Amino acid sequence: MNIPTQRLTPDAQGLSAATAFLRAGALVSFPTETVYGLGADARNGTAVARVFEAKGRPSFNPLIVHLAQVAQARGLVVWSDAAEVLASAFWPGPLTLVLPLRPRHGLSSLVTAGLDTVALRVPAHETAQKLLRAFDGPVAAPSANPSGKISATTADHVMAGLSGRIAALLDDGPCPVGLESTIIGLDGADPVLLRAGGLPQEAIEAALGLPLALPAGTSITAPGQLSSHYAPGAAVRLNAREAKAGEVMLGFGAMPCTLNLSETGDLAQAAANLFDHLHRLDAMERPIAVAPIPDKGLGRAINDRLRRAAAPR
Ligand code: TXA
Ligand code: MG
C-alpha cells in the first residue's frame, strides 16, 4: 500500500476535499475531541474493509459509527429510555452507545463485525461536526493508529502511523480530551461500562441514577479491551515513585521526571497529554516508568490505558 496522503486544513476547501474522498470510498483521518479517527463511509463495505487493511486490525473488531446528530441514530438502532437520557445529557461528546440494530439499517456488516448491535457516537469537535454534516451520512471510524499501537491525538501521530495508507488527514491540532470515548452497552437489561474513557463513569451514573454494571464473564464484548492494546515498543512499569537507571519517567504531580502528565495533578490535563507523552517516551527507546495516577474520575480511564500499555506481550 502506498497512497500519497494529503494533509488538509480544516477550512471549506479542505472539508470539501475530505467529503469527496469519503464519498469515493477512500479513507480520511479527522480529529474528534477524544482522539483522531480513521474515517470511512459506514455503508460502503469496500471502504470499511480498507480501514481494517490500513490499520492491520483483526477483522473481529467492530467499529464506532459517527453521526452529526442524535436524530440519525434513531433510524439505525432500537432507541431506549436509557439511550435518550444519555444522548440528551452527553451528545455531542466523548460517549459511545452500543444499541441493537434495526432491520434495513444500511450499514456494512463489516462495521459491526457481524454483531446485531452497533456502537454509535455523536462527536462534539467542530471539525468532526463539519465533516459529518457535509458528508451527511454515517462514518465508521476507529482510532487512527495501526492496530495495537497508541491512539493518535495529533496529526503528526496519524502521519507517523498511517501515512501512505490513507487518502487524507484533516489536521486540526491536538485533540482536547486525549482519551477515547467512554463506551456504554445498552443492548441488555442493565447499562454496562464496556470501556472507561473521556467521559467519567461517575457523570454517567449520576445521569442514569444507577451504578453501571461491568461486562459479564470473560468474553470480550469490546475487543479493543484485548490486554496488550495501546502498547509502546518499550517495557512499561506502573506505580513507580522514581525512575531506575536506564528508564525514562512519565510523571504526575510535582516530581522529577522526563515528561509530566500534569505538574498540578490535574486529571483532565493528564488525559489530554497521555498518548502524546507515551509516543514521545516510546521514541526514546528506553523502558518507561510511570508515576501512580489517582483511580477516580478520568484517572480510571488513564489507568486502564496504562495497564494495557504495560501488559506482557
Ligand atoms: O473516542 C473514540 O471512541 C475514538 C474516536 C475516533 O471516536 N474511536 C475509537 O474507536 O476509539 P476504536 O475502534 O479504536 O475502538 C472502538 C471500540 C472497540 O473496543 C470495539 O470493540 C468497540 O468499540 N465496539 C464497537 N462496536 C461494538 C459493539 N457493537 N459492541 C461492543 N463493542 C463495540
Ligand atoms: Mg483504538
The rounded Cα 90 to chain-centroid distance in angstroms is: 16
Please state the pTM of the whole predicted model: 0.87
What is the model's pLDDT at position 254?
97
Average pLDDT value for residue range 119-139? 98
Ligand 1 site residues, Cβ closer than 6 angstroms: 32, 34-35, 37, 61-64, 96, 98, 112, 115, 117-119, 121, 141-143, 180-181, 183, 194-195, 221-224
**Rounded Cα gap, residues 184 and 207, in angstroms:** 13
Minimum CA distance residue for ligand 1 atom 12: 142
Atom of ligand 1 minimally distant from the CA of 64:
25
What is the model's pLDDT at position 60?
62
Inter-residue contact 287 to 248 (CB < 8 Å): yes
Q: How many A from CA of 254 to the centre of ligand 2?
A: 30
Atom of ligand 1 minimally distant from the CA of 118:
29
Share of the chain above pLDDT 70, in %: 94
Average pLDDT value for residue range 124-150? 96
- Is residue 229 very low, low, confident or very high in pLDDT (cuts 50, 70, 90)? low
**Closest by CA position to 144, among listed 176, 169, 119, 112:** 169
* Tens digit of each residue's pLDDT (9 = 90 or more) over 35-63: 999 999 999 988 988 888 898 876 568 89
Under 8 Å CB-to-CB from 200, ≥6 apart: which residues? 182, 297, 298, 300, 301
Inter-residue contact 70 to 120 (CB < 8 Å): no
Asked if pLDDT for residue 225 goes beyond 80, the answer is no
What is the model's pLDDT at position 52?
85
